C-alpha cells in the first residue's frame, strides 16, 4: 500500500494530531525537515534517488513494512526507539576514535585516544533482495578483477606486456613493491579483502565511488550495528527477515585459516591492530 498525500483520520485517541504521525504527509514533511532529521538542504524530488519514496511520493514496496512500523509507533515511539538504540550502543561499548583535521587521533593529557559515541540511525537502510543480488554480483565481479590484476602485476605482468595497462601506471606508483614480485600469498586469492564505497545515481543504479583494499574498515561496525537493530526492533526484524550477516564473518575466519602455511595444523588467527591509536579500534576489536 502507498501512503496518501492527505492526512488520515487520527487513530491513537483524543488529541492525536498529524504531527504525531511522522509519515503524514511525507511530501510535506520532506520540505519541513520533519522526517528522519533530514538536512535543510534536502531537495526532495529531482535532488537524487530517494530510497524511501518513488517519484509520485508513494512509499516504495521495499520500505512498506518499515513505514508501517514507524507510522504505528508514532513520533513518540520513534523518539523512544532512538533512545533504545543509543542505550544499546553505549552498553555494547561501540565507539569511534575521534580524529583531528590531519587524521591523527585526538588524545587527552596522558596521550590516550578519546573515543566518541558511535552514531547509529534508529531505522535501518532497507535494500530490496533483487537490488542486493544485482549489487552483490557486481561487487563480486569487481573483486575478482582486482584480484586477477594484483596477481598479474606481481607475477607474469601480461597486462603490461600486452598493452592493457601502461607501464608507468605500475612502476611510477609509490605503492608498488618491486621486491615482492613472485611472492604468492597462501590461499586462493592474492587480494584478501576488498571494500567499496557505493551510492545510487539519480536513476537508481548503483555506482562505486571508491575501492578499499588496504585492510578496509567497517565490517566490525556492520556486525555490531546489525545486533543493535535486532535487539531494538525485534518484531520488525523477525517480520522482514533480513539476510544474515554471520555467514560473512564465518567466511572471513575460514579464509584466514586457509591463508595459513600448510605446516600449521591448527592455526591461531589474530588481528594485528594499533589498538586505541586507530580511529576504528572498536571495529578491529569486534572482528577479533
Task: Tell me the CB-side half-sphere exposure of residue 109, using CA atoms within 13 A.
Answer: 0
Q: Please report whether residue 5 resides in a domain.
A: yes
Number of domains within the chain: 1
Q: What is the DSSP string of 96-132?
A: EE-B-TTSPBPB-TTS-B-EEEPP--SS-----HHHH
The pLDDT of residue 24 is 52
Q: Please report whether residue 117 resides in a domain.
A: no
Q: Please report whether residue 198 resides in a domain.
A: no
Structural domain boundaries, residue 19: 1-59
What tens-digit pLDDT sequence spans the chain (288 residues)?
333 333 333 444 444 445 555 555 444 444 333 344 433 444 455 568 899 888 888 899 999 998 898 888 888 999 999 999 999 999 999 998 877 777 677 777 776 777 888 999 998 999 999 999 999 999 999 999 999 999 999 999 999 999 999 999 999 999 999 999 999 888 788 998 999 999 999 889 999 999 999 888 899 999 999 999 999 999 888 888 899 988 998 998 888 888 888 888 888 888 888 887 778 889 999 988
Q: State the Cα–Cα distance between residues 152 and 149, nearest whole angstrom.
A: 5
Q: Please report whether residue 269 resides in a domain.
A: no
The pLDDT of residue 38 is 38
The pLDDT of residue 241 is 86
Q: Please report whether residue 40 resides in a domain.
A: yes
Report whether 96 contacts 280 (CB < 8 A). Answer: yes
Q: What is the DSSP string of 34-96?
A: -STT--TT---TTSS--SSB-TTSPBPGGGHHHHHHHHHHHHHHHHHHHHHHHHHHHHTT-EE
Q: Please report whether residue 204 resides in a domain.
A: no
User: Could you tell me which of 31, 34, 25 has the C-alpha nearest to residue 6?
Assistant: 25
Q: Please report whether residue 13 resides in a domain.
A: yes
Q: Please report whether residue 39 resides in a domain.
A: yes
Amino acid at each position: 500500500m502507498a501512503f496518501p498525500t492527505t492526512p488520515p483520520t487520527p487513530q491513537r485517541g483524543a488529541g492525536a494530531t498529524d504531527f504525531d504521525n511522522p509519515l503524514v504527509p511525507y511530501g510535506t514533511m520532506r520540505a519541513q525537515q520533519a522526517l528522519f532529521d533530514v538536512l535543510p538542504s534536502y531537495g526532495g524530488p529531482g535532488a537524487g534517488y530517494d530510497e524511501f519514496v518513488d517519484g509520485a511520493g508513494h512509499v516504495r514496496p521495499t520500505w512498506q513494512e518499515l513505514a508501517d512500523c514507524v507510522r504505528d509507533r508514532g513520533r513518540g515511539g520513534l523518539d523512544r526507539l532512538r533512545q533504545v538504540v543509543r542505550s544499546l550502543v553505549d552498553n555494547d561499548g561501540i565507539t569511534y576514535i575521534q580524529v583531528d583535521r590531519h587524521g591523527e587521533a585526538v588524545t587527552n593529557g596522558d596521550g590516550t585516544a578519546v573515543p566518541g559515541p558511535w552514531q547509529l540511525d534508529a531505522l535501518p537502510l532497507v535494500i530490496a533482495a533483487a537490488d542486493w543480488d544485482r549489487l552483490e554480483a557486481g561487487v563480486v565481479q569487481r573483486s575478482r578483477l582486482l584480484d586477477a590484476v594484483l596477481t598479474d602485476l606481481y607475477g607474469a605482468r601480461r597486462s603490461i606486456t600486452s598493452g592493457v595497462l601502461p607501464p608507468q601506471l605500475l612502476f611510477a606508483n609509490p605503492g608498488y613493491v618491486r621486491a615482492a614480485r613472485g611472492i604468492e600469498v597462501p590461499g586462493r586469492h592474492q587480494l584478501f579483502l576488498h571494500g567499496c564505497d557505493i551510492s545510487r545515481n539519480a536513476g537508481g543504479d548503483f555506482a562505486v565511488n571508491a575501492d578499499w583494499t588496504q585492510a578496509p574498515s567497517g565490517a566490525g561496525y556492520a556486525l555490531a550495528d546489525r545486533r543493535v537493530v535486532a535487539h531494538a526492533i525485534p518484531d520488525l526484524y523477525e517480520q522482514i527477515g533480513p539476510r544474515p550477516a554471520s555467514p560473512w564473518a564465518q567466511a572471513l575466519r575460514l579464509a584466514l585459516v586457509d591463508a595459513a602455511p600448510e605446516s600449521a595444523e591448527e592455526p591461531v588467527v589474530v588481528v594485528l591492530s594499533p589498538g586505541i591509536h586507530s580511529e576504528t579500534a572498536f571495529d578491529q576489536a569486534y572482528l577479533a
